[in-house]
C-alpha cells in the first residue's frame, strides 16, 4: 500500500494521521520530484494528493481515502457505529471542508495569504466551537474520530496561516495541544509541517 502525499497538503496530512493512529503499514511517498508527480498523474485523473494505491485499487480525495482506511482496517474504529451519529460525523467533515479546509488548502498550495473574510470565519468559528471542549475530550465526545483528524491538522496550521485566536478560544487550543502531543500525530508530520511550528 502506498500513499502519495503532499508535504504540506492538509488532506494528505489527515490521511497520514489516520495511518499512524491505526498503525497501518503503508509507504508514504511525498510528491517532491517530477517522477513522483508523473506517477500520481497516471494514477489520478486530477493529478493531486492524497492518492492511495492498494494493490489494484486507486483512491483519491482525502475523505474517501480515510473512510476506506477506516473500513479496511476497522480497529480502532474512527467512525461511530450507529448510522445516525455516523451521518452527523460525515456532515461535520463536510462542513469543515466546505467552510474552511478547501479554501485553506488552495491558499497553502498557491502560497497566498488567507483573505480577511476567511481569516475571520476561521477565528470566529473556532471560538464558537471552543466551549464544546470544556466538557468533551474529542469532537464527538469521548472517542477520537475522523472528524478530529481534520480539525487537528487545521489547528496545527493556524500560526503558519497567521490566524491568532482570542482568549475565548483557549479550550480549542488546549484540545489542539493535547492532540499535537499524541505520538501518532507527531509521526504523521512531514518535515515541512514540522517547520510550521519550529519556533
Tell me if residue 182 falls in helix, strand or coil: coil
Residue 135 grid cell = 466538557
Beta-strand (E) ranges in 55-129? 57-60
| Residues 59 and 140 placed together within one structural domain of the fold | no
pLDDT at 111 over 90: no
Q: Establish if 199 belongs to a structural domain.
A: no
Q: Establish if 21 belongs to a structural domain.
A: yes
Distance between CA atoms of residues 26 and 1, nearest Å: 5
pLDDT of residue 36: 83
Domain end point (choices 10, 42, 72):
72
Residue 35 grid cell = 517522477
Sheet strands side by side (includes 2-5): 27-30, 2-5, 51-54, 57-60
Kindly state the average pLDDT of the residues 118-129. Answer: 95
Over residues 133-143, the pLDDT tens digits come to: 999 999 999 99
| Residues 88 and 170 placed together within one structural domain of the fold | yes
Over residues 25-69, the pLDDT tens digits come to: 999 999 987 888 888 999 999 989 999 999 999 999 999 999 999
pTM of the model: 0.94
Instruction: Give me the CATH number covering residue 64.
Output: 3.40.30.10
Q: H or E stretch including 92?
A: helix 83-96
Distance set, CA 64 to CA 26, 89, 94, 125 (Å): 17, 14, 12, 25
Q: Is the dihedral of CA 158, 161, 162, 168 positive or negative?
A: negative
Domain end point (choices 24, 53, 72):
72
Domain end point (choices 45, 72, 99):
72
Distance between CA atoms of residues 93 and 158, nearest Å: 18
Total domain count for the chain?
2
Distance between CA atoms of residues 105 and 8, nearest Å: 9
| Residues 44 and 89 placed together within one structural domain of the fold | no
pLDDT of residue 23: 96
Q: Establish if 66 belongs to a structural domain.
A: yes
Q: Establish if 188 belongs to a structural domain.
A: no
**Nearby residues of 74 by Cβ (< 8 Å), 6 or more positions away:** none
Q: Establish if 89 belongs to a structural domain.
A: yes
| Residues 95 and 9 placed together within one structural domain of the fold | no
| Residues 48 and 94 placed together within one structural domain of the fold | no
Neighbouring C-alpha atoms within 13 Å toward the C-beta of 78: 26
Instruction: Give me the CATH number covering residue 107.
Output: 1.20.1050.10
| Residues 104 and 176 placed together within one structural domain of the fold | yes
Range of the domain at 6: 2-72
Distance between CA atoms of residues 87 and 91, nearest Å: 6
pLDDT of residue 92: 95
Q: Judge whether 167 and 161 are in contact, CB under 8 Å.
A: no
Instruction: Using the CB atoms, write b or e for 72-93: b if 16+ within 10 Å.
Output: ebeeebbbbeeeeebeebbebb
Q: Establish if 39 belongs to a structural domain.
A: yes
Q: Establish if 161 belongs to a structural domain.
A: yes
pLDDT of residue 199: 64
| Residues 100 and 64 placed together within one structural domain of the fold | no
Amino acid at each position: 500500500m502506498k500513499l502519495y502525499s503532499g508535504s504540506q497538503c492538509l488532506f494528505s496530512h489527515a490521511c497520514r494521521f489516520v495511518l499512524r493512529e491505526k498503525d497501518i503499514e503503508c509507504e508514504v511517498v511525498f510528491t517532491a520530484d517530477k517522477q513522483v508527480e508523473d506517477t500520481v498523474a497516471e494514477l489520478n485523473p486530477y493529478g493531486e494528493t492524497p492518492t492511495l494505491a492498494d494493490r489494484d485499487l486507486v483512491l483519491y480525495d482525502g475523505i474517501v481515502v480515510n473512510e476506506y482506511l477506516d473500513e479496511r482496517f476497522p480497529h480502532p474504529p474512527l467512525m461511530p457505529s450507529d448510522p445516525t451519529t455516523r451521518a452527523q460525523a460525515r456532515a461535520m467533515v463536510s462542513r469543515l471542508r466546505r467552510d474552511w479546509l478547501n479554501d485553506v488548502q488552495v491558499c497553502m498550495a498557491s502560497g497566498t495569504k488567507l483573505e480577511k473574510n476567511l481569516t475571520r470565519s476561521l477565528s470566529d468559528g473556532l471560538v464558537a466551537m471552543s466551549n464544546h471542549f470544556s466538557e468533551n475530550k474529542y469532537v464527538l465526545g469521548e472517542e477520537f474520530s475522523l472528524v478530529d483528524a481534520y480539525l487537528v491538522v487545521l489547528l496545527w496550521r493556524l500560526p503558519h496561516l497567521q490566524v491568532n485566536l482570542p482568549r475565548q478560544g483557549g479550550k480549542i487550543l488546549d484540545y489542539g495541544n493535547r492532540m499535537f502531543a499524541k505520538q501518532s500525530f507527531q509521526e504523521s508530520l512531514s518535515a515541512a509541517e514540522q517547520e510550521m511550528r519550529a519556533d
